[in-house]
Structure 1
Amino acid sequence: MSLANGLYQDRSSPLHRVPAGVKVLALVIVGTVVFLINDWRILLAVLAGVTALYGIARFSPRVLWAQIKPLLWLLAAFFAVQLWLNDWQAGLVVVTRLASVVLFAGLVTLTTRVSVMLAALERAMTPLRVVGVNPEKVGLAFSLVLRFIPVIASVASEVREAQKARGLDRNMIALSVPLIIHTLKMADDVADAIEARSYDPIEKA
């Protein structure tokens, strides 16, 4: 199961009992803090801490590996770019940041039912109606992101395998362009489907 199929797995653990709103807030905080840290040693400590949380949540190493495996080639590409432009330390900073956020996001989705998470998000956004924010639209956007993470990871894997057969698996342009085109096409199809159904979250509000 990837972050993707990222879906709740029932366990009897302390993390499963933490309220959804607290976990979503923690994800926002972690996602913000890691991008404020530039020391790769501290980031490695953060990554080790996130990894340890999987044990606390009673997930096996196999589940942990499944969260990060689809992104390995992307992490390798980021590291290579930073190594070329800067040095290995800059590459390690970028990779540990992304890995920490992905693993923590995976942990949140694995320990929280999506419906509960979205409900908590909408409740948290309700006070922002006075400044024009529509909680239902935010919830819809968030649910689409969760839905498409696995799809995009799957497409990325398919593109990589196809380009590998052509001997282009190390060519970042050959990997990135088809993925971007597929992603934009999917986004366009989803937008058309929503419009065809005349779905308007504002009316629900």
Structure 2
Amino acid sequence: MSGPIRPPWAGPLGLYHPGTSVIHRAPAGLKLALLAVFAVAVVVVRGPASSVAFLGIALLAQLVARLPWHRTTRGLLPALVTAALVGAYQWWARGWATAVEVAADLVALVLLGAVVTATTRADTLLDVLARLARPLRHVGLHPEMVALAVGLFLRTVPVLARMSLETRDAARARGLDREPRAILVPAAVRMVAHARTTGDALAARGLGDD
């Protein structure tokens, strides 16, 4: 009997979800600029109180955007696990205040990033990134290639996550879920094969010939 069907993982940055909220209607460039300012503020402003406030801002943005919570929480799961582990270590090493600050900052950044990408079409987001990368022409980098690299990253993260889950399920079906090599080696082989296939597809389209 096969196990339950897993919904596709949206990755740490989520997937676009159509809507009519004020955040959906805001220009993509403005959203990216505000996200950058938010990230700088999270790094510069210290203390657990400010970190909780930043997390509250990210949660408020989630509510204003009216995004489905089940999609957001599924995409946030890796960040939540990481925040819990890092927070636990910081609590043991430096106290509860640092633990709250680090964990809340991490979740706030990932959540707001998920809100931005969930309310912005991928092609619009990549167009903005290409315009922002135009000064890189002076150092020999094509803005379109920079945008393509970002797009490939956003598409590859959920693919690699799905491969890891499928490899773990296959190992579990053989009773080898406690054997690291039965998971890591097949997963690495599949990821390398995916990377080579992607590279061959790009080369076939003449990308990167310059």
1:111 equivalent among 116, 119, 128: 119
Supply the distance in 1 between the matched residues of 2:130 and 2:58 (Cα, whole angstroms).
26
Supply the distance in 1 between the matched residues of 2:109 and 2:80 (Cα, whole angstroms).
14
Structure 1 residue aligned with 2:102: 94
Q: Using CA pairs below 8 Å that are at least 6 residues apart, which structure has the higher relative contact order?
A: 1
1:125 equivalent among 133, 143, 147: 133
Structure 1 residue aligned with 2:4: none
- Ranges in structure 2 where 5+ consecutive residues have no aligned partner: 1-7
Structure 2 residue aligned with 1:22: 30
2:51 equivalent among 43, 61, 68: 43
Supply the distance in 1 between the matched residues of 2:189 and 2:89 (Cα, whole angstroms).
23
Supply the distance in 2 between the matched residues of 1:10 and 1:74 (Cα, whole angstroms).
29
Q: Report Cα offsets for 1:63-84 as digits up to 9, x if no partner.
A: 3323312433222222233234
Supply the distance in 1 between the matched residues of 2:92 and 2:28 (Cα, whole angstroms).
41
Alignment of 1:76-91 (within 5 A): 76-91=84-99
Supply the distance in 2 between the matched residues of 1:73 and 1:29 (Cα, whole angstroms).
25
Determine what percentage of the aligned residue pairs are the same residue: 30
8 Å contact from structure 1 (residues 51, 103) kept in 2: yes
Q: Give, in angstroms, the shift of residue 191 of structure 1.
A: 4.0
Q: CA RMSD in A?
A: 3.5
8 Å contact from structure 1 (residues 122, 136) kept in 2: yes
Q: Give, in angstroms, the shift of residue 161 of structure 1.
A: 7.2
Structure 1 residue aligned with 2:81: 73
> Residues 18 and 69 of structure 1: is their aligned pair in 2 closer, same or farther, counting only changes over 3 Å?
same
Instruction: Determine whether 1:12 maps to 2:20.
Output: yes
**TM-score, scaled to structure 2:** 0.74
8 Å contact from structure 1 (residues 136, 201) kept in 2: no
8 Å contact from structure 1 (residues 121, 139) kept in 2: yes
Whichever residue aligns with residue 20 of structure 1, its letter is: A
**TM-score, scaled to structure 1:** 0.76
- Ranges in structure 1 where 5+ consecutive residues have no aligned partner: none
Q: How many matched pairs? A: 198
Supply the distance in 2 between the matched residues of 1:41 and 1:192 (Cα, whole angstroms).
50
> Residues 19 and 194 of structure 1: is their aligned pair in 2 closer, same or farther, counting only changes over 3 Å?
same
Q: Give, in angstroms, the shift of residue 52 of structure 1.
A: 0.8
8 Å contact from structure 1 (residues 31, 101) kept in 2: yes
Alignment of 1:133-144 (within 5 A): 133-144=141-152
